Amino acid sequence: MALSDDLKDYIEKNSDTKTSISEKHGVVVIGETHAPMGPPDKAAIRTNSSVRLVQELLSDPKYRYFGSEYFYNAGPVRYAVRRFLRDNTLPPQYDPATDAGLADMEKAKRLFVNRYVGILDHIRRQPVYVLSIGSSVGDSPARDVRLAQHFFEEARDRKLNQSVPGILLVGLFHAAKTPMEDWSTTRMILDKHSYQCVSVCKLTDYVPDSGTADDVVVSVDTPLDDIKPKDMIRLTSLVSKSPITFPTDRKWGTEPSPFRKVTLGHAKSSVAEQFEYVVLEKAA
């Protein structure tokens, strides 16, 4: 069979409509492709699917905290999150027509707190600790280090040790258990500090106006600097319903998982090497 047929068969045999993590773990690290800065648009599926998944996981009372890359560790965003949890008050929605001149942190407050209000509202009704792990440090080795550092500080302040289960929402590159770039990811840093992590790769069917669809995989044999359209397999095209969740590295009959044979196209490591689970969700 073609590789796409193998992937489709594996998903059909191993997927579920619910996210059930069988591995013993302390931290579920959800990796997403971020929605672009700005008002809600057709990329809203990226945010909506993350909110839905986090709400689903938080319904399990074993999880005691939620941390997010969007909740900055200091400044206006942190204060706005705290205010909403305290008295149900949201900042104004971001309006590009009038707010373009605002400071970046003020824009972030209006964008991120309103985008993730579904999670915060869930936490108001079923309280867990909120860990503000976000950082203004740009994409670099320092960003992964800073996200991990903020997590350790927030957990220590609340006396949460490695045995207390919780959930983190970060960018896809930060959640991988093998490097996407030439440095350790946030997940890898947590592993080194004795946190037992499980990473979830959350993919949608969104296609940017310029760029590659969110859910594309390619064979590990494909040169990453020369990926052609014929090399691309869209995972959401292989499923008839969504959302679904499946483990990446279960046996497939007598064969190993075909997700050992594909990569997301950012690094040579396979999907099975980088994430324990994949969640697929379509906009419609």
Q: Is the predicted pLDDT of residue 39 greater than 70, yes or no?
A: no
What proportion of the chain, given as a percentage, has pLDDT over 70?
A: 98
User: pLDDT, tens digit, for every residue of 126-181?
Assistant: 999 999 999 988 778 999 999 999 999 999 999 999 999 999 999 999 999 999 99
CB 175 within 8 A of CB 254: no
Closest by alpha carbon to 278, among 216, 191, 185? 216
pTM above 0.85, yes or no: yes
Determine how many CB atoms are found less than 10 A away from the CB of residue 223: 10
Q: Is the predicted pLDDT of residue 282 greater than 80, yes or no?
A: yes
Q: Is the predicted pLDDT of residue 40 greater than 70, yes or no?
A: no
For strands 129-134 and 233-234, give the pairing: unpaired
- In 3-state terms, what secondary structure has residue 152? helix
Determine how many CB atoms are found less than 10 A away from the CB of residue 111: 22
Per the structure, the complete domain to which residue 254 belongs is given by 3-281
For strands 65-72 and 129-134, give the pairing: parallel
Report the C-alpha gap between 46 and 50 in whole angstroms: 7
Q: Please, what's the largest Cα pairwise distance for the chain?
A: 60
Q: How does residue 100 score in pLDDT terms, banded at 50, 70 and 90?
A: confident
Query: Total domain count for the chain?
Result: 1
Mean pLDDT (whole number) for 178-188 = 95
Across 97-111, 153-167, 182-196, least confident range: 97-111
Q: Is the predicted pLDDT of residue 233 greater than 90, yes or no?
A: yes
Q: Is the predicted pLDDT of residue 185 greater than 90, yes or no?
A: yes
Amino acid at 148: A
What confidence score (pLDDT) does residue 211 get? 84
Task: Quote the mean pLDDT of the chain.
Answer: 94
Report the C-alpha gap between 127 and 131 in whole angstroms: 12
- In 3-state terms, what secondary structure has residue 183? coil
Report the C-alpha gap between 15 and 215 in whole angstroms: 16
Q: How does residue 250 score in pLDDT terms, banded at 50, 70 and 90?
A: very high
Report the C-alpha gap between 51 and 71 in whole angstroms: 14
Report the C-alpha gap between 7 and 14 in whole angstroms: 11
Amino acid at 163: S
Closest by alpha carbon to 168, among 154, 179, 183, 184? 154
Tokens of 248: 């990446």
Sheet holding 197-204, edge to edge: 129-134, 65-72, 166-171, 27-32, 197-204, 277-281, 244-247
